[in-house]
Amino acid sequence: MKPINVGLLGIGTVGSGTWSVLARNREEISRRAGRDIRISVVADQDVEKAKRLTGGTVHIVPDAFDVVASPDIDIVVELIGGYTVAKDLVLRAIGNGKHVVTANKALLALHGTEIFAAAQANGVMVGFEAAVAGGIPIVKAVREGLTANRIEWIAGIINGTANFILSEMRERGLPFEAVLKEAQALGYAEADPTFDIEGIDAAHKLTILAALAFGIPMQFSKAYTEGIAKLTQADIRYAESLGYRIKLLGVTKRTAEGIELRVHPTLIPERRLIANVEGVLNAVLVKGDAVGPTLYYGAGAGAEPTASAVVADLVDVTRMHTADPEHRVPHLAFQPDRLSDERVLPMEDVVTSYYLRMRVLDRPGVLADITRILADGMISIDAMIQREPGEGEEQVDIIMLTHEAREKRINESIRAIEGLPVVTGQVTRIRLENLL
């Protein structure tokens, strides 16, 4: 049978990993796909580097648009990244009747709805397993493996850089800035780490997972995003003393009022498996109504782990290459004409539990004033720590865990507490998820 010809756009970290995995496992992959899959052309502006990586065994071009226009290419693998040129290339490839495989989570989170509509109209497939959690097959798990379930919620550690920083802060007692510099030196964090530490990268991935889980369009602009830069050693220690660990978590839930879509530091009970995922590893917890909680764990980035997902998509596309477009696995799990218009909740409407830390003057009646404000907001306290002041200290920390409350009420209560003359500085608020 005629081989499937692949055009590879970009041969950087993931592109070189894809080349290596395909070359090393060619026979096994061919047996699984039913025909040979070969990269017949590579586009990269650094032509000499591309020649070195491929050993001069494949045609190299500097212009990726030549690849998407070539009549000899069946599948285009987009590994360039970014929102602009990559979008033009993907839409051009789709318009030319070519299937696409991409690891570009930002592109899909912002433009996925348009891209999938174009693919549907042109009868081609877009594979994107590598766009979420690297080598963990979470897209296939949610879209196909759990298709009998009504998904209730997804909670994921889906950014390895942030997880490495929080793990090192907890284990070694180092401040955020010191661990960030170490992560940059090790190559885990970029020179500009904004997307990782501010939760933007995780929000891109969560947007895709929410679309798969609930059959809604991609809506990155509605995702609430909060990063880890303000977390302190004090909060990590207090959380541990209460039996919790802090992780940057992406959470999407189906509620009676709408869909929650949020990324933020989160207290998780230390007995949960996901709370013990350390370093640069990723983990995604999916709760289905029939199966209950299921956990997917592994390498969320890196050349070959991500290439594993890219090649898996190549195999899937090859298997379905000649299938009737109307009977292929839908891109977003649900049939395109059955997507939901269920609203995404603004953060102030979210209901969850909270960790609150207040720095207060050591005066009589302080605790009573704070608890009165919380009671007025109908917020009940689950647990509390009030540290005794040291010799000569005039200020102490009060830490409270609340039962579930609406974010809007918590915000109002925090403003009132910060207005008390005995409270110094701002109240630290970290959300809490029991993940039951």
Domain boundaries, the chain: 4-135+303-338, 138-299, 351-432
Tell me whether the CATH fold assigned to 4-135+303-338 matches the one assigned to 138-299: no
Residues of the chain with pLDDT under 70: 322-324, 327
Residue closest to 140 by CA, chosen among 75, 212, 220: 212
Q: Give the tens place of pLDDT for each residue, 77-104.
A: 999 999 899 999 999 999 999 999 999 9
Cα–Cα distance, 122 to 114 (Å, whole number): 12
CA atoms within 13 Å, Cβ hemisphere of 49:
11
* Helix, strand, coil in percent for the chain, rounding step 5: 40, 25, 35
- pLDDT at residue 65 in the model: 97
- pLDDT at residue 268 in the model: 98
Helix (H, G, I), strand (E, B) or coil at 57: coil
Judge contact between 211 and 218, C-beta under 8 A.
Answer: yes
- pLDDT at residue 330 in the model: 79
How far CA 293 is from CA of 149, 151, 204, 273, 351, in Å, comes to 11, 10, 23, 11, 20
For residue 178, report the phi and psi dihedrals to the nearest 5 degrees: -65, -40
- Give the number of other CB atoms < 10 A from CB of residue 68: 24
Q: Give the tens place of pLDDT for each residue, 249-301.
A: 999 999 999 999 999 999 999 999 999 999 999 999 999 999 999 999 999 98
Residue closest to 333 by CA, chosen among 128, 96, 32, 33: 128
Which residues are CB-neighbours of 187 under 8 A, at least 6 positions away?
Answer: none
pTM of this structure: 0.94
Out of 98, 205, 253, 287, pick the active-site residue: 205
Judge contact between 157 and 282, C-beta under 8 A.
Answer: yes
Q: What amino acid is encoded at 350 in this protein?
A: V
To 10 degrees, what angle do helices 105-122 and 85-95 make? 20
CA atoms within 13 Å, Cβ hemisphere of 18:
33
Q: Degrees (nearest 5) of the Cα angle 45, 192, 8?
A: 25
247 is catalytic: no
Which CATH class name applies to 351-432? alpha beta
Which CATH class name applies to 4-135+303-338? alpha beta
**Level-2 CATH architecture, domain 138-299:** 2-Layer Sandwich (3.30)
